[in-house]
């Protein structure tokens, strides 16, 4: 048990679930109604995938540190570099994952 009443936990779960759904629905609903997405908006949307994906990936690969060698010799950064190379070379998701994981395990074994 935790320090909350059963009811308040349920309230929190339902509130977050409903709000999350409405966030997901927002533009899917809106742009469906106007039938065409304004061109000016499209200019911004074009950059969403690259910007979001880079923001999701970068903090997983780099740990900010005062010592540069420590930052560069991070097994996650090195494995990420290998995976990025494979992604650029073959463009295959599964192959990228396999090579990235194998590289991670290899660097972990070598560096520690």
Partner 1 sequence: MSGNETASAGQDEPADSDARTALEQNPQGQQLLSRLLHVDFRAGARDSIGILLGLIPFALVFGIAADGAGLSILQTVVMSAGIFAGTAQLVMVELVATNAGLAIIVLTGLVINLRMLMYSASIAPHFTEYGKRTRAYLAYFLTDHVYAVSIGEYANESRDRDKRLYYLGLGVSIWLVWVITTVIGYVLGAGIPASLNLQFAIPLVFLAILVPAIDAYPQLVAALTSALVAIAAALAVSQTGLPEGADLLIAAGVGIGAGVAAEEVMDR
Residues 17-56 within binding reach of partner 1 (CB under 8 A): 17, 19-21, 23-33, 35-37, 41-56
**CA gap 40, 32 in Å, rounded:** 17
Nearer to partner 1, 36 or 69 (CB): 36
Shortest Cβ 44–partner 1 spacing (Å): 6
- Of 13, 72, 73, 111, which lies in the binding site for partner 1, with binding defined by CB under 8 A? 13
Site for partner 1 in 56-75 (CB under 8 A): 56-62, 64
Radius of gyration for the alpha carbons in the chain, expressed in angstroms and rounded: 21
By CB under 8 A, tell whether 109 contacts partner 1: no
Can you tell me whether residue 35 is helix, strand or coil? coil
By CB under 8 A, tell whether 80 contacts partner 1: yes
Angle at 67 between CA 63 and CA 71, to 5 degrees: 35
For residue 98, report the phi and psi dihedrals to the nearest 5 degrees: -60, -45
């Amino acid at each position: 048990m935790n320090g909350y009443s059963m009811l308040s936990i349920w309230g929190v779960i339902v509130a977050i679930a409903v709000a999350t759904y409405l966030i997901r629905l927002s533009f899917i609903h809106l742009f469906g109604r106007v039938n065409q997405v304004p061109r000016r908006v499209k200019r911004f949307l074009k950059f969403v995938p690259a910007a979001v994906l880079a923001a999701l990936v970068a903090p997983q690969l780099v740990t900010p540190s005062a010592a540069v060698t420590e930052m560069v010799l991070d097994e996650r950064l090195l494995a990420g570099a290998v995976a990025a190379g494979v992604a650029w070379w073959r463009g295959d998701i599964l192959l990228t994952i396999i090579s990235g994981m194998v590289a991670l395990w290899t660097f972990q074994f070598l560096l520690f």
